[in-house]
Structure 1
Amino acid sequence: MISTEFTGGTDAGQASSLPRSERAYQQLRAAIQAGQLSPGTRLREVELAESLGLSRTPVREALSRLESEGLVVNEPNRGMMVTQLDASMVSELYVMREVLEGTAAALAARHATDVEISLLRDIVERDLSMIDDPDRLAANNRLFHETLHRCAHNRYLLKTLRSLHESMALLGRTTLSVPGRPRSSYEEHLALVEALEKRDPALAEQITRRHIQQAYKVRLSLWIEEQSSS
């Protein structure tokens, strides 16, 4: 069953006024991002329609849209399912993260306002109160990166990064659940903020690329562990 509370950031009143296909899309996408529909989960139109309280047509349209975004795949002999990433796909995601987020950091060093950089520092400092809570820490981490992306002040880069991070939802549990990673991630974020405060684009990009590389190493170890136990 899918909880109808998943409305992609839309409140209940607004969700009820949306077209049915849009409502189905937002709820399914949010369920995938929240891990309620995990990678490999079969997506049957009849069951989803019943769970969402909708007819099959808007659900079918929503699944088609999710397929075009790479969150859902139509497997021969298996039907629609939440996309499962293999090792090469995980690597490709992190390569793009390194390139795009490194660029965003360099642009932020040039274009972010002092207030925006101060906000990034505030977000980083909140990490210290969440070290032992991976879920809250992951949410704060997403906020930090989303804020960094906006600080680049490049609408086309922002759109591309949003699309990339939609696919990141397929990766499963946060790397911040790995012992030691929360502290090192905090230190990496703090170093990035300091580079932004210095208005040093090259250093900001270098630190961000190294941060993503470290995250990828942890992610790959998690992926291998999960494959070994499945």
Structure 2
Amino acid sequence: MSRQDASTAPRTQPKVAAGEVYSTLRDSIVASEIPPGTRMNIDAIARDLGVSQTPVREALQRLEGDNLVVYSPGRGYGTTPLLQLPELRSLFEFRLLVEPWAARSAAVDRLANPSDTLDRELEAFERRVDDRGDLRQDLVAHDTRFHDTILGAAGNRVVQQAFVQTHCHLHIFRLYPADVDGTVTIAEHRRVWEAIRRCEPEAAEEAMADHIRNSFSRFAQAFDGDLPPIDPAGASRSSKARVVR
């Protein structure tokens, strides 16, 4: 190894380890293998994963950015509580304001139309469903890629960044495995994809709005009692008010 190689190797290894630690901890938190409100002992995590404390600290800082862990002075890191119903409703009201618009914007006859990318994503996830394994992490990843692709195709980076910062996919999938085998999600995603592929903006907007409302109903099953559906008009007004504030 040259002198230059020898000097760079030690600096790159912790980054790789931190990424692996981050993915491992994130998946465990989303799958509720690490319950909400659990103290994250850095030394214990490092021992369990066979790494030093440095990549664990870096991973926890990234998870704090995802709002999956919180740091308290004197206590250290701990996993964040689950979303409560008002928070879940607010999140889906925001989605109902943003994502139907994004689907409508993406359903255009131009090179930015993301239908080919969405088709490949759906086919890849359907193959995973056919394997009949544990789909929880795959469903989170598929849902994230599908919706992020549509938001990206809409071409508004400010809106896309605001959506990314909600980390909605990571948080809602902690509540309840609402679509255990993924078939409902595939059917609803395909309806959105077909409208975008056909360049039908109104149909794409409607399909996405239906998907968001249905998703809210599924995830709201984590809470007791009869829950009213999201009102699209009310969602738009309340979400706009929150954005302005």
TM-score, length-scaled by structure 2: 0.64
Q: Shift in Å at residue 74 of structure 1?
A: 4.0
Deviates further, 100-109 or 58-67:
58-67
Match of 1:91 among 74, 79, 89: 89
Once superposed, what is the RMSD of the aligned Cα atoms? 3.8
One-letter amino acid matched to 2:188: E
- Distance in 1 (alpha carbons) for counterparts of 2:24 and 2:88: 21
1:17 aligns with 2:12: yes
Match of 1:44 among 19, 37, 41: 41
1:117 — aligned with what? 115
**Does structure 1 conserve the Cα–Cα contact (< 8 Å) formed by 2:106 and 2:114?**
no
**Does structure 1 conserve the Cα–Cα contact (< 8 Å) formed by 2:21 and 2:55?**
no
- Distance in 1 (alpha carbons) for counterparts of 2:36 and 2:61: 17
1:63 — aligned with what? 60
Match of 1:31 among 25, 38, 44: 25
**Does structure 2 conserve the Cα–Cα contact (< 8 Å) formed by 1:39 and 1:83?**
yes
- Distance in 2 (alpha carbons) for counterparts of 1:209 and 1:15: 49
1:191 aligns with 2:158: no
Q: Shift in Å at residue 44 of structure 1?
A: 1.7
**Does structure 1 conserve the Cα–Cα contact (< 8 Å) formed by 2:95 and 2:212?**
yes
SS in 1 for 2:108: helix
Residues 27 and 58 of structure 1, relative CA distance in 2, 3 Å threshold: closer
Residues 66 and 221 of structure 1, relative CA distance in 2, 3 Å threshold: same
**Does structure 2 conserve the Cα–Cα contact (< 8 Å) formed by 1:67 and 1:73?**
yes
- Distance in 2 (alpha carbons) for counterparts of 1:91 and 1:98: 10
- Distance in 1 (alpha carbons) for counterparts of 2:89 and 2:24: 24
2:234 — aligned with what? none
- Distance in 2 (alpha carbons) for counterparts of 1:92 and 1:15: 45
2:170 — aligned with what? 169
The alignment of Structure 1 onto Structure 2 pairs a total of residues equal to 207
One-letter amino acid matched to 1:143: R
1:157 aligns with 2:152: no
Structure possessing the higher radius of gyration over alpha carbons? 2
Alignment of 1:139-158 (within 5 A): 139-158=141-160
SS in 1 for 2:39: coil
Q: Shift in Å at residue 223 of structure 1?
A: 4.8
List runs of 5+ in structure 2 lacking aligned partners. Answer: 1-8, 226-245
**Does structure 1 conserve the Cα–Cα contact (< 8 Å) formed by 2:108 and 2:199?**
yes
**Does structure 2 conserve the Cα–Cα contact (< 8 Å) formed by 1:44 and 1:80?**
yes
Q: Shift in Å at residue 221 of structure 1?
A: 0.7
TM-score, length-scaled by structure 1: 0.68
1:108 — aligned with what? 106
Residues 67 and 135 of structure 1, relative CA distance in 2, 3 Å threshold: same
Identity %: 25
Q: Shift in Å at residue 215 of structure 1?
A: 0.8
- Distance in 2 (alpha carbons) for counterparts of 1:214 and 1:15: 49
Residues 120 and 66 of structure 1, relative CA distance in 2, 3 Å threshold: closer
1:10 — aligned with what? none
List runs of 5+ in structure 1 lacking aligned partners. Answer: 1-13, 226-230
**Does structure 2 conserve the Cα–Cα contact (< 8 Å) formed by 1:93 and 1:168?**
no
